[in-house]
Structure 1
Amino acid sequence: MDRARRQPALTVLPVCLALAFSLTALGSSHWCEGTRKVAKPLCLDEPGRLQCIHFSGSHGSGGRRDNGSQAVQYIWETGDDKFLQCRFHVGLWQSCEESLGSAGEKCRSFQSVIPAEEQGVLWLSIGAEILNILLLLTSAVLLGSRVSYHASGFHWFKVDASVAILTVLAGLLSMVAHIMYTTIFQITVNLGPEDWKPQTWDYGWSYCLAWGSFALCMAVSVMAVNRYTAARLEFIEKQKLQEGSRHSQHNFPKPKALENVRETEAALSLARHALLVSVSEHLPPSAPGKVSMC
């Protein structure tokens, strides 16, 4: 692969990587992770079970438990012992947390958790992420076409300029989308429902992938601008050289034209000499002077 194709091929890789990062982050629910404080359930029929509140009730004769309305139950857990730390993770689409009754997770829509006045901002954030993916996909197609079809007559630096503009727009859109989502999440932490509010939280791996896509977009845009500048200067230099060669060709006649001029002059001189000879032969011997012809 020559140098003209190697540089676009090296640019396609970070664009495709940024596209993969954005797609993964868009569909993932690990933008933010943390723990919630959840009250332990009562250990009704499982006295040896952990992660539940144990209590002792009055027993009747024969060891049977008295289920009368006057029975007094003693709960030994106090303070933080009555709560469990339940892990959760949130994305653009849904919020999931550990299920106490089973080993799985229970999920709900993140839109149903955030305040009603912030739902429009969430959709703006999702729209910006989708538009970012479309711009990255267009950039990847343009760079792939440059690598696959390399024609000397086409000005490929225009493709580099288009890729630079598209990747800059994609990076700016993704940055705005990430900032909007962070703001929405923090507002939901403060004003969200009580059965959702986290005790501790931090950013997850999907959030890191989203910002990694932004960094790759900026790097690709810088590479495309540098390559566009170099190609543009090279194209201008070639145009100057072609114009200079054309001027030199117009100022100096071609060798073939010079040969034609010389042959014409030789033919005229021969014709002039033949005319002088013929005139001299037809003159009488007593004619004074000589005939000359310039």
Structure 2
Amino acid sequence: MDRARLQQTLTLLPICLALAFALTALGSSHWCEGTRRVVKPLCRNRPGELHCIHFAGGRGGSRRDNKSQEVQYMWETGEDKFAQRRFHVGLWQSCEESFNGADEKCRSFQSIIPAEEQGVLWLSIGAEVLDVLLVLTNAILLGSRVSRDSSGLDWLKVNAAVAILMVLAGLLGMVAHMMYTTIFRITVNLGPDDWKPQTWDYGWSYCLAWGSFALCMAVSVTAMSRYTAALLALTEKRRGQKDSRRSPHDFLEPESSEVVWESGAAPSPAGHALESVSGHLPPGAPGKVSMC
């Protein structure tokens, strides 16, 4: 395996990892996690139940009235009437654990947020989907080039395409995450009373989403640096080829002039050479050289 293909194979690994992170975060409901303070129900015919308010009803009318007043007092002022229930929220739904902790009750997150923020939620979801599609396109493009023989110019084009597509995917993911964070904060303040959390924090899906963004930007910077280095190397190579083509013609002119001077002939202003006329003089005449 040549060096270029090895580099592209190493680049393909973080792209696949970013795709896995983005897909997991998109389908998960653990973007935000927290607890809610919920009123316990009354224990009716459930003496062993722990997550409810116990009371004992008497047979007499006065005793029944006293017990009813006692339960009413606990219901209004007692602290034992509250229970902490954990919940987690994603792009699609919000889930909350039951009192016994055996199962969860889920509902659509779109039904919880205020009506004026639902359009922003769909924009966030659309940006997340486009982010996944761009990362998938990069993975397919780079995987197809790695599996076949490609020239240096092909790798140059691939690096440019990967750099552009990955930076677009990263920016779309960043905008989508920020929009979702804004929507969730607004829902915490203006959402329904039967959903408002007491405490909350970001979950592991939210961390995966930002991890995908970081990988996209890292791959984009790496691909851009490789593209720049390859472009400079290609430019230097072409310049060297042009210099090598011009160098033989440059050295022929001095060599030809040296031959002319060695032969004893030089060009005159009129374009004629020096001529020796000694051979044309009559016998016994002194040898002279005239210039024509």
What residue identity is the alignment partner of 2:31?
W
Deviation per CA, 1:74-114: give whole Å up to 9, x if none. Answer: 22744321011010000000000012266110100000000
5+ residue gaps, structure 2 = 253-292
1:4 match: 4
> What's the CA shift for 1:192?
0.4
Q: Is the 8 A contact 1:32 1:207 kept in 2?
A: yes
> What's the CA shift for 1:70?
5.8
CA distance in 2, matches of 1:173, 1:70: 63
Please give the residue correspondences for 1:281-292 in structure 2 after superposition, counting only pairs within 5 Å. none
2:196 match: 197
TM-score (norm 2): 0.79
5+ residue gaps, structure 1 = 61-65, 254-294
1:244 match: 243
What residue identity is the alignment partner of 2:124?
S
CA distance in 1, matches of 2:116, 2:62: 49
What residue identity is the alignment partner of 2:19?
L
CA distance in 2, matches of 1:164, 1:151: 18
1:267 match: none
Please give the residue correspondences for 1:1-294 in structure 2 after superposition, counting only pairs within 5 Å. 1-60=1-60, 72-73=67-68, 74-75=70-71, 77=74, 78-100=77-99, 103-152=102-151, 154-248=153-247
What residue identity is the alignment partner of 1:142?
L
SS at match of 1:97: strand
SS at match of 1:111: coil
CA distance in 2, matches of 1:52, 1:85: 12
1:291 match: none
> What's the CA shift for 1:249?
5.8
CA distance in 2, matches of 1:223, 1:239: 24
Q: Is the 8 A contact 1:139 1:166 kept in 2?
A: yes
Q: Structure 1 residues 236-245 or 90-99, which shifts more?
A: 236-245
Q: Is the 8 A contact 2:36 2:84 kept in 1?
A: yes
Q: Is the 8 A contact 2:29 2:89 kept in 1?
A: yes
How many equivalent pairs are there? Answer: 248
What residue identity is the alignment partner of 2:46?
E
Identity %: 71
Cα RMSD for the two superposed structures: 2.2
SS at match of 1:155: helix
Q: Is the 8 A contact 2:57 2:64 kept in 1?
A: no
Q: Is the 8 A contact 2:24 2:205 kept in 1?
A: yes
Report the CA distance shift for 1:248/1:197 in structure 2 as closer, same or farther (over 3 A): same
Q: Is the 8 A contact 1:57 1:71 kept in 2?
A: no
Q: Structure 1 residues 108-117 or 47-56, which shifts more?
A: 47-56
> What's the CA shift for 1:226?
0.8
CA distance in 2, matches of 1:141, 1:213: 17
What residue identity is the alignment partner of 1:92?
L
> What's the CA shift for 1:67?
11
SS at match of 1:88: strand
What residue identity is the alignment partner of 1:113?
I
TM-score (norm 1): 0.79
